[in-house]
Amino acid sequence: MNNKITTSAPGKLMLLGEHAVVYGRPCLVTAVTVRIHVTVSRQGTPGLTVNAPQTKDLRFIEKAVFHATRSFGASHDGLHIETVSPFTGVYGFGSSSAVTTAAVYAIGLLSGRQVSPRQTFDISYDTVMDVQGVGSGFDVAAASYGGTVYYRNGDIKTIEAVPFLSGHTDAHLVIGYSGVKSSTVELVTQVAANMKTYPEKVTRIFDAIADLVSEGKAALEKSDYEKFGKIMDFNQEYLRDLGVSSGKLEDLISAARRGGAWGAKLSGAGGGDCMIAIASSDKLEAVREAITRAGGEVVNADPDAQGVRIETTDNQAELFVVVDKNDNILGFRSRADCHGDTSLIHRAAGVAVFDSGGRVLLQKRSLTKDVDPGVWALSSAGHVKKDEDYETCARRELKEELGISAPVVFAGKFFYRGAHETEMDSVFTATYDGPFIPNSEEVEEIRFFTKDELLRKLLSGEIKLSECAYQSLKTIRFL
């Protein structure tokens, strides 16, 4: 079982539909590339301990622990939580929702669960509502799912992925910080007071905003960013009518439009925080300059960021050996390159360790691995590094993952194509009865299996074997 997990969750920016979303209308929100990191570990000390210097309101973490441990049937006793964040509440990127989401996800993984975005969302939403009382949960949806999301609150919550700018080189989102910190709770309360006094007028505004969100979604689906800009402009007019804009935000929005943006609006609760503009490549610099000249701070963050995720312990810069289909060396590429490009065939070596009774040792991979976290794999396996041959790699992995030195015998080779990588795999066998010293950063658990026992557990679904381990065991005719 892992004793320590680090996760991260992104911040968010509202593209269209703020305030109306609190009243059951849809909105469009994008996750941004500014991430908060949360490390959850199990320590010997009793109770919960938290070290989160950048988190203003620790209740988000404490309640996340309460809701997550209850949902995952885990204990909060001995949990220690640390957070590291490049963003505080300053820009209104939703740091409280991000820290909540990252904590919930980490606690789930630490309890040995495979946690879905929906589960993360549901538990994080309950946590945020418990602390804050108001809010639509759009920020939690962005942190849990990532990308760009069409979101609607209600008995059944709609969360739908929408394309936004990814792979598009001619349109850009510019973010301008007004320098004024705003309070979402105060602004939502102010709008609620307006709703009470002028229900028809405010309802009309919300319905009009809902129409804009639908049109905006359609524009994004067609990559029509010029139209999306116009829709942002219209949305801004309604936000001004609601009374949530400010002189400073209006200055930055007008400046962005004068700089040639297709459209601009405030983003979030209003009153301060950030405005956003959408602009073509040839106007990008002019828009950024115009915002700066008007007294705004252009924030460097990109939209459509990945949702909550494990921060892997694997070194992404490590060089692997790239080969052709006949295993001739072509060159060397990083782990990050090899794991994102299936045309880069790279060498790997695995060892099937048998005890003197003929049972095979398998390992459950650590949840912090970048490939196949939490699934069962061969006794030990790894990628052949630059300056290594297969056998050196096989012996190194035995030492690193299981803490043993044992003679290995070459048993076969196969070509493996996974969803994200392509390998040339050599399989070795070794005989060893233990003791083993598994590396807890790489290996969650090890166990010997007879052939019958393994087949039974695979068929019943009790354990999940990685495709690569399955092919290795077939190559050596164990399966």
Q: Which residue ranges make up the site for ligand MEV (CB under 6 A)?
A: 14, 18-19, 21-22, 135-136, 138, 184, 188, 268-269
Contacts of 220 (CB under 8 A, 6+ apart): 28, 148, 162, 163, 164, 228
Residue 175 CB-density burial (10 A; 0-12 exposed, 13-18 middle, 19+ buried): buried
Q: Are 5 and 40 in contact (CB under 8 A)?
A: yes
Taking the C-alpha atoms of residue 324 and residue 322, their distance in angstroms, rounded to an integer, is: 7
- Estimate to the nearest angstrom the gap between the alpha carbon of 51 and the chain centroid: 22
CB of 347 to ligand MEV, least distance (A): 49
Taking the C-alpha atoms of residue 159 and residue 157, their distance in angstroms, rounded to an integer, is: 6
End-to-end CA distance of the chain: 27
CB of 103 to ligand MEV, least distance (A): 19
Taking the C-alpha atoms of residue 197 and residue 214, their distance in angstroms, rounded to an integer, is: 28
Amino acid at 7: T
CB of 253 to ligand MEV, least distance (A): 17
Nearer to ligand MEV by C-beta: 159 or 188?
188
Can you spell out the DSSP letters for 315-382? Answer: -TT-EEEEE-TT--EEEEEEHHHHTT-TT-EEEEEEEEEE-TTSPEEEEEEPTT-SSSTTSEE-SEEE
Nearer to ligand MEV by C-beta: 22 or 278?
22
Contacts of 281 (CB under 8 A, 6+ apart): 169, 170, 171, 172
CB of 273 to ligand MEV, least distance (A): 8
**Paired residues of 429 in beta bridges:** 352, 409
CB of 308 to ligand MEV, least distance (A): 18
Contacts of 399 (CB under 8 A, 6+ apart): 405
CB of 268 to ligand MEV, least distance (A): 3
Nearer to ligand MEV by C-beta: 234 or 354?
234
Nearer to ligand MEV by C-beta: 151 or 320?
151
Nearer to ligand MEV by C-beta: 136 or 148?
136
CB of 200 to ligand MEV, least distance (A): 20
Nearer to ligand MEV by C-beta: 19 or 347?
19
Nearer to ligand MEV by C-beta: 85 or 111?
85
Nearer to ligand MEV by C-beta: 69 or 184?
184
In degrees rounded to 5, what are phi and psi of residue 339?
Answer: -90, 5
CB of 197 to ligand MEV, least distance (A): 18
Cis ω for the linkage preceding 53 (within 30 of 0)? no
